[in-house]
Structure formats: C-alpha cells, structure tokens
Structure 1
Amino acid sequence: MATVVRGERVPFGPIANDISGPARTHRQVGGNGVCRWKMLMNGMHLEGEWNCVEYVVIEPGGSVGEHVHLRTEEIYYIVSGQAVVTMDGEEIAVRAGDLVTTPIGSAHSIANRSDEDMHFFVTEVFPGHGPAAAPARLHVPDLLGAGAGTRVAHVDLTPHFTGDWRQFRLLDLAAGDSVEEEVPADRSIVLHVLEGTAVIHVAADAYAGGPGLSVAVPPKYAHRLVNTGAGPLRVISTEVGVA
C-alpha cells in the first residue's frame, strides 16, 4: 500500500523481480519435505491492499502444512505440475492452470504427491468486511476460448473475497503480438510470465525475461506487453483495488 509521509500519500513506481534465488525451506508451515520459496513483491511497496506476492516450488513428497489466514485472503495459481489442496478438510486435486481461492478463515494445505516439482504463484490481500465466500477452484485456460491471435481469460475475483480484489486474467499472445493498456486510477496490477519470452514496457522502462519475470504496474501507468519469442506467450495478471 502507498506510504504516508508527513501527512501526504506518496505513491510508488513500478517493481520488477523474478523467481531466481529462492530460499530453501524445510517443513514449511509444519508441512513435510522441502519447498523453494521467494517473495516477489512486498505489499508495503504496492498501491492497494496487497500483503505479498510469492512464488513457491514444492519438491516431490513435500507440502505446505495446514494453516489458517486470520489477516489476509489468498489465491494460488498452479503454474506447473500437480498437487492436492486440502481446504477445510476436503481434498481437491489441482493441476497447472487451476486458480484456487482461499477466503479468510479457511484452513488449507497443499501437498505434492507426484514425482515432479510443483510450481505455484501466490497473492495475499488484506480483507474487507462482511461474510466470507466459499473456497473455489477454476481452471482458467478453459476460459480462453478458441481462435488465433491474442486471447484473454477473465476471472472476476470480487464475489470470492471481502477485500478489494478486482480481476485475474490469463493473457495468451501469439508470436509477434502485443497488448497495450493503461492501469485505471482505482487499481494496480502484477504481471507474471508463465511461458515464452516477453518485454514489458512501463513508462520509459523495459523489463525483458522469460518464465518467472514479474512486474508490478501502479495506477495510471501505461504498459505494453510484447511477445518477443517464436512461440506463444502466456502471462497472468492480478488486479487489486486502490482506495
């Protein structure tokens, strides 16, 4: 969230990070085995009620133990592999492309019972008021539809949470395609590259990279996403409101 300095709100500029150099954690939150974890964005440096943006890899046989968020709401996006999420005692099999919503107060864990690494992207946001919604799982690529060229899947996060979540998008760009947008004044976004090679232009800066590149774009900033590779480019976008 923006910082107040001598009584005035001071906004931040763009942020770029990637998934290199993660910490190695053992028995994360009381789970089993080994995870590789990295915080990509700290909410104190983002506009809006973000708490954090993280990237986690669970090695085979590993898990993040059961826990309850009392101060934040959360989404998981499964980047690759498969896992089992246990949500309020119910086991849910998840795979690449699944978006899992965790309302405040829900007990949850995630375990990798396969023989390959499982990667997932995490966003936590501070809650608002009112009753919590039920947890949900959506397979976002199913929402892309058919056709060539740029395709975009939209998930409205508003009904799933009490906090000021807006929408989650999956952008699929063909080779040579680009998308140019301006972030509205009432929200900020984080873009994260899943597949392919991209350049993300924000104002006068350009951030180039492949899978794992993350860029936070503040309100009212224009940005341009360009597929610079020979194959498809897939990027997820998470939007959170700015009061």
Structure 2
Amino acid sequence: MATVVRGERRPFGPIANDVSGLASTLSQVGGEGVCRWKMLMNGMHLEGEWNCVEYVVIEPGASVGEHVHLRTEEIYYIVSGRAVVTMDGVEIHAEAGDLITTPIGSAHSIANRGDEDMHFFVTEVFPNAGPAKAPARVHVPGLLADRADGADIRSASVDLTPYFTGDWQRFRLVEVAAGSRWEETVPAGTSVVLHVLEGSARIAVDSIGHTGGAGLSVAVPPRYPFTVDDTSGSGRVSLIVTEVGVA
C-alpha cells in the first residue's frame, strides 16, 4: 500500500527477493515438526491491499496447525510435494500445481504426510466488505495453453474475484520457452508479484535486471514494464504471477 507523506501519496518501486535463508520454525501455530519459512514481501511496501507474500517448506510429518485469519484472505500454491489442507474440517488433498483459496474466517491447517519436503507459496490480501466465499482448489497446470499470438509462451489464468471479497485479480502460471522473452506492462490499476518455479530467468523491471533460479520473486508496481528472459540455456522457465488491484 502506498504511503502518504505531508499529504502527498508516495508509491514504492520494484522489490526483488528469493527463498534463500529460510527460518526454521518448530510447532508452527501449534502444528507438528519443523517448517522452514520466509517473508518475501511485506505488504506495506507493495501497491494495493497486500498483507504479505511468503514461502514455506514443510518437512515430512510436519504441519502448520489449525488457525483462522480474521483480517486477511489467503492463497496457497503448492510448488512441490503433496499437502493435506484441512479447511473447516474438510480434508483437501493437494499436489504440485494446485491453488488453494482460503476465505476470511475459515479454519485451516496444512500438513505434509509424504516422505519428501513440501514447498508452497503464500499470499495474503486484506478483504473488502461482503460475505465470505467458499474455499476452492484449482489445478493450474491443467489450464495451460499456447498464446494466441503465436509467441513461444504458454500460460494459464485463474480469475480470483469469485473466491474473495478483496482486490484480488488473477493468478497466472506462465512458461517461457528456452531463448524466448515475455514482456508486459503492468496496468495502472494492478500490482503483481512474479515468482520463478523452474529454470532460471532474468527479470528486468524498467530496465533494472534481477537474475536467479527457482525461488526468485520480483514485485512490479503499476505502470512498470517488465521482461522475463529464459537464462537456463535449455528447457524453459516457469513462473507464477499474483495480481492484486490498486485503488
């Protein structure tokens, strides 16, 4: 959200971070075992009603205990491994590529009952007025399609507005082929966070580049142009894009 200084609105610029240096948390929110966690973006530094952007790793047999968000709405995107999300007493079995929406007021927990680490990406946004919506699970890779303009890019898009009261817009999965470039300009009423899932990329925002592999996150404010170039030399770069409205 922007900051007002002496009556003047002061926006923030782009932010870059990655998933290195995760903190270890024991019995998170009353859960079991060890989780590794990092806040990638604090909402006070983003345009729009973001609360936070986080990355969490749950070790085998561990969990984040049941809790209720009374002030934010939330999404989980399962990056790797398998998860059991319990939402208002109902178990949701999720796998890599699943997007889980958590409405305000829902009691939820997430556990790793598998034998490998489970990674997931978290975004929380402040709500608006209105009744809470029902939770949902969407397998985003199943929606991937080639772009109509013939570019060597595949994308999938989930409209988040039916699931929340807040200023959520879209959640996207984008795959950029080896040696290709994806470029966009963020609309005036939107801010986005890009997060690399696979491969390596150079993400340039207003010509300032940030290069990294899986776990690189870049926040792009309204009206800023950005480009994503595959730098792996083979294969593709895959990334997720969370879009939130800016009043």
Q: What is the identity, as a one-letter code, of the residue corresponding to 2:226?
A: H
Report Cα offsets for 1:51-83 as digits up to 9, x if no partner.
000000000110000000000000000000001
Query: CA separation in 2, counterparts of 1:204 and 1:23?
Result: 32
Gaps of 5+ in 1: none
Structure 1 distance, partners of 2:4, 2:230, is 37
* 1:222 aligned residue (216, 221, 225): 225
Q: Any residues of structure 2 matched to 1:89-108 within 5 Å, and which? A: 89-108=89-108
- Corresponding residue pairs, total: 243
Q: CA deviation at 1:146?
A: 6.4
For residues 146 and 224 of structure 1, do their structure 2 counterparts lie closer, same or farther at Cα, with a shift above 3 Å needed? closer
1:209 aligns with 2:234: no
Whole-Å separation in 2 of the counterparts to 1:93 and 1:85? 6
Deviation at 1:149, TM superposition (A): 2.6
- Large movers: runs of 4+ above 4 Å: none
The CA distance in 2 between the partners of 1:32 and 1:3, in whole Å, is 39
Where in structure 2 are the equivalents of 1:125-204 lying within 5 Å?
Answer: 125-145=125-145, 149-204=152-207
TM-score between both structures, scaled by the size of structure 1: 0.98
Cα deviation code 1:160-191 (max 9, x no counterpart): 00000000000011101111100001010000
TM-score, scaled relative to structure 2: 0.97
5+ unaligned residues in a row in structure 2: which ranges? none
CA distance in 2, matches of 1:204, 1:152: 24
Which whole-Å CA distance do the structure 2 matches of 1:175 and 1:205 have between them?
21
Percent sequence identity over matched residues?
74
3-state SS, counterpart of residue 134 of structure 1: coil
Displacement of 1:145: 3.2
| Aligned twin of 1:81 | 81
RMSD: 1.0
